[in-house]
Amino acid sequence: MGKVWVVAEQREGKLKKVTFEMVTLARQIGGEVEGVVIGKDVKGLASELGEYGVGKVYVADHPDLEQYTTAKYTRVLAELINKEKPEVVLIANSAQGRDFAPRTAQRVGAGQVSDITGYEEGVFVRPIYAGKAYTKVGATSHPLIVTVRPNVFSAAEKTGGQAAIEEVAVSFMPEDLKAIVKEVVKQVSGRPELTEADIIVSGGRGMKGPENFKLLEDLADVLGAAVGASRAAVDAGWREHRYQVGQTGKTVSPSLYIAVGISGAIQHLAGMGSSKVIVAINKDPEANIFKVADYGIVGDLFEIVPLLTEEFKKLLKS
């Protein structure tokens, strides 16, 4: 195995957790683990990666890289790949990674394995049909681009160390600068993103109306959790599309998924089935969700959820 690259995911000058998860995976794959950091004023992040045992970090630092666009990131990464010839390039399967990874793969003539959740002796494991089945995928040529699902691999621990830092010359072609980001609207919410959250509290048709999601938000706030919804709740207009978990929504893998008033349509199970621990709260003991749940309470959610919020509050305060 040659070089295995971890393309750091950073926002506003901070490395995202998935970056350290990719370091863990890179070590499992073996070979020389190297990092790539792209952005503006990001040299500090390169040294930080070194503390996690990454031997060498390529830094593309340029004022034009402050704002992400597909073309700019693709230009930088594709040229670097062509020059340094890594064997495997790991990129976060985030909104950003998903956007420039396939574009880069095509430019360098590489295959890509998307949204992987496992690695076993040279092959990458990934869900298909939103987790109703899995495939093991291998490369027939290199480089290979791999996008890694956040929250699946454990984050690498600090090992202490210092990375050799190589600054990459960055220059753009006129066509790289054609896309203009007019505006970035941030969702004002103190809650984590669904795809990154460690705990998710999700509501379905049983919530009976948009106002009742307040119950789930209260519970989520105690747990530091994200709030999701089933397709039924989204179709009813109670929650925005971006919060939908399921085959036509987000695929999530938190350590704890609490499904409230969700019957467990196959569509929904597909999106959350890889959660480590699943809790179901539903008044129907025959509901499908109980077939996948590790723990369940059969009963009235309007009674149970407030009790649960109180109980967690007590526990987490003590």
CB of 47 to another protein, least distance (A): 25
Tell me if residue 36 falls in helix, strand or coil: strand
Choose which of 13, 44, 138, 161 interacts with another protein (CB under 8 A).
138
Task: Give the separation between CA 166 and CA 57, rounded to whole angstroms.
Answer: 6
DSSP per-residue codes, 278-317: EEEEES-TT-THHHH-SEEEES-HHHHHHHHHHHHHHHHH
Task: Give the separation between CA 295 and CA 229, rounded to whole angstroms.
Answer: 19
Is residue 273 a contact point for another protein (CB under 8 A)?
Answer: yes
Distances (CA, A) of 24 to 28, 43, 53, 119, 165: 6, 22, 10, 11, 20
Choose which of 71, 155, 165, 236 interacts with another protein (CB under 8 A).
71
Q: Which stretch binds another protein (CB under 8 A): 23-31, 32-40, 151-159, 271-279?
A: 271-279
Is residue 103 a contact point for another protein (CB under 8 A)?
Answer: yes
Task: Give the separation between CA 84 and CA 30, rounded to whole angstroms.
Answer: 17
CB of 169 to another protein, least distance (A): 23
Q: What DSSP designation does 62 have?
A: -
Binding pattern to another protein, positions 143-182, x when CB under 8 A? Answer: -x------------------------------x--xxxxx
246 marked among binding-site residues: yes
Is residue 132 a contact point for another protein (CB under 8 A)?
Answer: yes
Choose which of 2, 17, 61, 70 interacts with another protein (CB under 8 A).
70
278 marked among binding-site residues: no
The tokens describing 234, both together, are 């989204």
The tokens describing 174, both together, are 């006129």
Task: Give the separation between CA 251 and CA 147, rounded to whole angstroms.
Answer: 14
Please give, one letter per residue, the 3-state secondary structure of 99-116.
HHHHHHHHHCCCEEEEEE
Q: Which is nearer to another protein, 54 or 105 (CB)?
A: 105
Is residue 13 a contact point for another protein (CB under 8 A)?
Answer: no
CB of 151 to another protein, least distance (A): 13
Q: Which is nearer to another protein, 134 or 172 (CB)?
A: 134
288-317 residues near another protein, rule: CB under 8 A: 290-300, 303-304, 307-308, 311-312, 315-316
122 marked among binding-site residues: no
Binding residues for FAD: 205, 230-231, 244-248, 261-268, 282
